């Protein structure tokens, strides 16, 4: 084989001409392999393409038997070609037949060839096929020859990606890029959405692969790298980036990659071989990702994400590409797929068009998930590989009930889900018919059904769902989606708008609950080992009284002449309530001195989320006008399980005896002091657990808007007194080990209660 120092440029130029000619796909592919063989003085050049059934099929060859085309096949991992596809790494052999993975395919006639060079056809780190050259003489191919073949494989990757090869694929078969894929994740928001993929940060599609002027492309790369490094340095120097912590560590990793000479040398080498700067970045990114994607070490896999993000930033620098789809290109049925995203970014999308959200990262308590659920869309998180496997406008089904994402689903699966959606729509219509029905149990117990909210977009659900008010308004969401601290006037206008849009129905405002996992960009606290147990919520507010007083002032002004209900989050000791009440009293006195109108009625309450309050129940009930149980955090702290950790979050049951006894003690404490008690956690949103709450004696619950209908249907069929007798007996019996969940399921089945 001759020296290839100038070869790649000549070859790529000829391939570009072939790509531009009006040829049928098979003829184009045949001429491409012939051109590669001639340029590289190879006696054989073959292209294998990966099908959706995991088979690598010979699509074109120069040198092997032509009759083997579309007949010769190897499974993923089988033979040399299968090994290359499975590992996404080149294979360079002087005697191919001596390799333990060699598989003899008699139809090809390749037994006379000894030297073998095969490279994966890669796109975004995925192997779409394999490109091979062979010679009779025994020899190892040089590094520049491997580089040339890898560069050439990019052209073939684009042929596969554009769908051109579909025309010559056997009927009934699909290529791997279009194969159906099902991804398991975690359910962060119930519901089902059918639509089309919108990648939150779409991959840059590099269409101009081959350069005309190497020096010019090297200069473009140098300028883009310079701009990238400056932007990273600028981010690191900003005041809001703390000197320590995870945020800074990520940016420092970016800076390390951006200055890495090995990475830059690879990019420059690819440009010298004939690629544009963009194509060079895409190629090196794809190769690096292919090597790292199989790593099991979580730290190294995280570094792969960092590298991927950095390469995408560089591509945007080079192409000047805007990430988001324009409004006209945005599908009417969109499922947004992202590695991670902020709450404000989700709200940037046309709300009426978004049918679901798929995240590779995040937790059920993350900001964007809270907003997505407020929008009433299904959410699947921890969907590993979703971004790499999806393409913009791919058909997709998101199943928030079963925590699955189906990319490019088969027709039968699509039809099954369409029927499931129709069934859910019929059920929702039945629930809507109950909207104006009074929520009375069969034994005449009046239940107050309220909903949780946090944004203005939530408020139309109040009347749609038939809720009687807002039992939990998360005021921190206004802070989380803002780029700067909302001023007092902005907070006041926001609360006034909430009260106006609810039309006189009661609203319970929870004061600022930031800290822990709820980090706002302009308020950075020191990094904590256990943020859920750290400086957050009322602890932060009492340490920053100006912050709390500003919020209380805004609420008092917004509720002038109206009723104001407010409660404090994460109270640990009753003394905290007294301290906060003193601040509230100062604001009331200030308003009076200024002659400003005050709320006609003020109710002061507390969230019961910290187990320490269980030993202060009587003092608590005497100190406040009402108590709201935050069952999510109370369960987390009582059972010592991190609800964001999939390994332990389901280890204990909220319907287990220990937690139900805690909830029973709270409601009995309220009854002793005639202090209203409500519950506004996840338990209230599920019919079976909500049924248990009614059996324990709760008469007010607050839930997601979509849960109001199912909960009302359940309670209308329930004899709460009868259930209370069964449930209390089960909680008092220390010998019976029958799971309470099963007792509840059996009770519902025996009494015709829909759960």
Which amino acids are annotated catalytic?
367, 680
CB 604 within 8 A of CB 625: yes
CA dist., res. 653 & res. 682, Å (int):
13
Q: What is the DSSP letter of 520?
A: B
Q: Characterise 537 by phi-psi region: left (phi > 0), alpha (psi -120 to 50), beta (else).
A: left
> Which structure tokens are listed for 614?
């269980």
How many residues are given for the chain?
Answer: 755
Q: Are 155 and 33 in contact (CB under 8 A)?
A: no
Task: Provide the 3-class DSSP secondary structure of residue 617.
Answer: helix
- Nearest C-alpha neighbor of 389 from the set 176, 196, 204, 185: 176
734 burial level (CB within 10 Å; 0-12, 13-18, 19+): exposed
**Locate tokens 């089960």: which residue?**
730
Maximal C-alpha separation, the chain: 100
**H and E: helices and strands count for the chain:** 26, 22
Rounded Cα gap, residues 152 and 285, in angstroms: 16
CA distance linking residue 125 with residue 289, whole number of Å = 5
Question: In this structure, how many other beta carbons lie within 10 angstroms of the beta carbon of residue 604?
Answer: 17
Strands 354-359 and 379-381: parallel
Residue 107, classified by CB atoms within 10 Å of its CB into exposed (0-12), middle (13-18) or buried (19+), is middle
- Give the whole-angstrom CA distance, residue 193 versus residue 421: 8
CA-CA distance, 202 to 479, in Å (whole number)? 28
For residues 656 and 666, what is the distance between their CA atoms, to the nearest angstrom?
16
Helix residue spans in 624-656 (DSSP H): 631-639
């Amino acid at each position: 084989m001759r020296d290839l120092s100038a070869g790649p440029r000549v070859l790529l130029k000829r391939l570009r001409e072939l790509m531009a000619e009006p040829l049928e796909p098979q003829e184009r592919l045949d001429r491409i392999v012939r051109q590669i063989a001639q340029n590289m003085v190879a006696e054989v050049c073959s292209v294998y393409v990966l099908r959706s059934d995991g088979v690598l099929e010979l699509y074109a060859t120069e040198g092997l038997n032509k009759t083997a085309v579309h007949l010769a096949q190897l499974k993923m991992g089988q033979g040399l070609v299968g090994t290359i596809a499975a590992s996404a790494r080149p294979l360079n052999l002087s005697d191919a037949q001596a390799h333990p993975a060699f598989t003899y395919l008699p139809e090809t006639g390749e037994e006379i060839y000894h030297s073998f060079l095969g490279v994966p056809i890669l796109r975004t780190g995925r192997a779409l096929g394999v490109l091979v050259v062979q010679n009779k003489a025994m020899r190892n191919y040089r590094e520049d020859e491997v580089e040339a073949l890898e560069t050439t494989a990019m052209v073939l990757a684009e042929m596969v990606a554009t769908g051109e090869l579909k025309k010559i694929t056997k009927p009934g078969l699909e290529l791997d890029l279009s194969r159906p894929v099902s991804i398991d994740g975690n359910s962060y928001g119930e519901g089902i959405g059918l639509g089309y993929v919108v990648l939150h940060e779409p991959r840059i599609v590099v269409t101009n692969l081959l350069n005309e002027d190497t020096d010019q492309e090297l200069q473009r790369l140098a300028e883009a790298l310079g701009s990238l490094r400056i932007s990273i340095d600028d981010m690191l120097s900003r005041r809001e980036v703390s000197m320590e912590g995870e945020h800074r560590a990520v940016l420092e990793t970016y800076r390390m990659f951006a200055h890495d000479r090995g990475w830059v040398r690879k990019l420059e080498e690819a440009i010298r071989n004939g690629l544009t700067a963009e194509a060079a970045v895409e190629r090196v990114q794809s190769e690096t990702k292919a090597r790292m994607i199989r790593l099991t070490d979580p730290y190294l896999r995280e570094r792969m994400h960092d590298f991927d993000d950095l390469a995408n930033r560089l591509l945007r620098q080079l192409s000047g590409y805007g990430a988001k789809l324009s409004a006209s290109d945005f599908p009417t049925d969109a499922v947004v797929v992202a590695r991670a995203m902020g709450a404000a970014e989700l709200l940037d999308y046309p709300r009426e068009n978004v049918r679901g959200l798929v995240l590779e990262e995040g937790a059920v308590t993350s900001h964007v998930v809270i907003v997505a659920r407020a929008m009433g869309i299904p959410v699947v998180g921890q969907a590993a590989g979703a971004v790499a496997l999806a393409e913009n406008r791919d058909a997709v089904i998101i199943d928030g009930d079963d925590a699955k994402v189906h990319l490019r689903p088969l027709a039968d699966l699509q039809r099954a889900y369409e029927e499931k959606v129709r069934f859910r729509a019929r059920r929702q219509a039945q629930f809507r018919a109950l909207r104006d029905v009074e929520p009375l149990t069969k034994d005449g117990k009046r239940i107050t059904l309220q909903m949780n909210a946090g944004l203005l977009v939530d408020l139309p659900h109040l009347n749609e769902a038939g809720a009687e008010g807002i039992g939990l308004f998360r005021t921190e969401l206004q802070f989380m989606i803002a780029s700067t601290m909302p001023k007092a006037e902005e907070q006041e206008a926001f609360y006034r708008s909430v009260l106006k849009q609810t039309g006189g129905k009661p609203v319970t405002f929870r004061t600022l609950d930031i800290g822990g996992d709820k980090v706002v960009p302009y308020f950075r606290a020191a990094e904590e080992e256990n943020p859920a147990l750290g400086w957050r919520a009322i602890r932060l507010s009492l340490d920053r009284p100006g912050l709390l007083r500003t919020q209380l002032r805004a609420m008092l002004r917004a509720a002038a002449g109206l009723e104001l209900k407010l409660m404090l989050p994460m109270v640990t000791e009753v003394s905290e309530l007294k301290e906060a009440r003193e601040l509230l009293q100062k604001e009331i006195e200030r308003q009076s001195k200024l002659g400003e109108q005050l709320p006609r009625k003020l109710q002061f309450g507390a969230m019961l989320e910290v187990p320490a309050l269980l030993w202060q129940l009587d003092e608590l009930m005497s100190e406040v006008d009402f108590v709201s149980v935050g069952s999510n955090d109370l369960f987390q702290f009582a059972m010592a399980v991190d609800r964001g950790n999939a390994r332990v979050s389901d280890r204990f049951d909220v319907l287990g005896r220990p937690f139900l006894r805690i909830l029973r003690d709270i409601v009995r404490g309220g009854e002793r002091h005639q202090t209203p008690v409500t519950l506004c956690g996840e338990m209230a949103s599920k019919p079976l657990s909500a049924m248990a709450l009614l059996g324990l004696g709760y008469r007010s619950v607050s839930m997601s808007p979509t849960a109001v209908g199912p909960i009302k249907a359940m309670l209308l069929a329930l004899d709460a007194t009868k259930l209370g007798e069964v449930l209390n007996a089960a909680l008092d019996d220390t010998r019976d080990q029958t799971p309470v969940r099963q007792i509840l399921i059996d009770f519902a089945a025996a009494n015709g209660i829909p759960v």
